[in-house]
Amino acid sequence: MSAWGIRLALGFAAFILGSIPFGLFISRLYGVGNLREQGSGNIGATNVTRVVGFWPAGFLTFFLDAIKGLLLIAPFLFHWIPEGLVPESTTLYWSIGLLSVLGHCFSPWLKFNGGKGVATTFGVILLLAPLSGLVGGLIYGLTYLATRKGAAGSLLGLLGALSIHRIFYPFDASMLLFGAMVLVSIYRHESNLDLLLVDDKGEVASGSN
């Protein structure tokens, strides 16, 4: 198989691996019927935690969703496969990560619906840009502690990670792929953004359209 053939196979495998709805499977192990009909209806770790509990169900969902994006990158990055099989390329690694996120968010097993991609995106960031991932995680934690809103923490954490990446890493194709992952997650948070613009009295927050 040619190098381009291997790249295409990796991209397809990344999308399919990313599309596995671990949250649904784990919640069913704990006696929950259809997770999409409970809580927020999302298949990610936040809703699993809300419906089942954080330990171990929510944690396990987050962990499995996070490693979706790096399982196919790590063997190349750490030279666990023969060198020369596919030319090393950060663009290839970020592309694999983006396709994993797309698979998670638009799973063919769920009629091209899915999660919001936060855990999968953070998994990729922590592997390929650890500083950005750590800063993003810190921003998420501080925002969540201050607001108790997971969506706010997730979005600010991802935007913070992207900002740090722009400062400390060169602007290249990988930056655009990183940005695409963040945009996908923001798009999937559309309903949460609507809620964040509403105050506790149910009125539209000032300054919103």
Task: Give percent above pLDDT 90 in the chain.
Answer: 66
Domain-embedded: residue 207: no
> Of 91-105, 112-126, 152-166, 180-194, where does mean pLDDT reach its minimum?
180-194
Domain-embedded: residue 201: no
Domain-embedded: residue 205: no
Question: Tokens 């053939």, residue?
Answer: 5
Q: What integer is the mean pLDDT of 144-157?
A: 90
Span 42-59, pLDDT tens digits: 999 989 999 999 999 999
With contact defined as beta carbons under 8 Å apart, do 42 and 115 qualify? Answer: yes
Mean pLDDT of the chain: 87
Contacts of 37 (CB under 8 A, 6+ apart): none
Task: Give percent above pLDDT 70 in the chain.
Answer: 88
Torsion of CA 146, 147, 148, 154, to 10 degrees: -100
Domains identified in the chain, total number: 1
Span 55-82, pLDDT tens digits: 999 999 999 999 998 899 988 888 777 7
- DSSP letter at 116? -
DSSP H helical ranges for the chain: 3-18, 22-29, 45-51, 59-68, 74-77, 90-105, 118-128, 130-147, 150-168, 173-188, 190-196
Instruction: List the domain range (segments joined by +) for residue 155.
Output: 3-196
Span 160-191, pLDDT tens digits: 999 999 999 888 899 999 999 999 998 998 76
Domain-embedded: residue 102: yes
CA pair distance 123, 196, nearest whole angstrom: 25
Which pLDDT band holds residue 11 (cuts at 50, 70, 90)?
very high
> Of 24-33, 117-126, 135-144, 197-206, where does mean pLDDT reach its minimum?
197-206
How many residues would you count in the chain? 209
3-state SS assignment for residue 43: coil
> Of 41-45, 141-145, 197-201, where does mean pLDDT reach its minimum?
197-201
> Residue 28's pLDDT is what?
94
CA pair distance 185, 52, nearest whole angstrom: 24
CA pair distance 169, 165, nearest whole angstrom: 5
CA pair distance 145, 81, nearest whole angstrom: 42
Domain-embedded: residue 8: yes
CA of 151: how far to CAs of 12, 85, 143, 157, in Å?
A: 29, 40, 10, 10
